[in-house]
Structure 1
């Protein structure tokens, strides 16, 4: 049995390339220490900015502490996809009723 050695930087680059190939505009990889952002999330929720998205407040601290959601988590992969395609002619259509 051969031992498999992974280069973390090369793996991260491959994941980002695969994400773009699948149509995502942005791919991010981070560790699970989101401590500095937890207070911002709590304040955002307390202000009611989530509106009707009740799921944003569900599961307590698991949203800001991924290792509580899935024990043993070391990294989080986040993907962003634009809702409004760049080739829309929305501005032109709105200007010409």
Structure 2
């Protein structure tokens, strides 16, 4: 997976599906990427056991990073909290 992450740092292979396939072949895993949520699941195809689940996030312009689910959940909670806070501010501003 480190090789795959390093390949994402190269602007020439950014978003390259062949890089994903090469990693899957090398480590005998299956990479399932959901474009909408950018969810990466690494599955051992022999027994179907999920080895690692993380979300891919854009970092800068040329690469992506693997983020553990716990960190993503924390970021989501923070985002929701900030969103609610901003909505309350907008409501209080519009009523004045």
Would you call these one fold, judging by a TM-score over 0.5? Answer: no
TM-score normalised over the length of structure 1: 0.30
Task: Work out which of the two has the higher radius of gyration on C-alpha atoms and give 1 or 2.
Answer: 1
TM-score normalised over the length of structure 2: 0.30
- Please identify which structure carries the higher strand content: 2
**Greater relative contact order structure (CA < 8 Å, 6+ sep):** 1
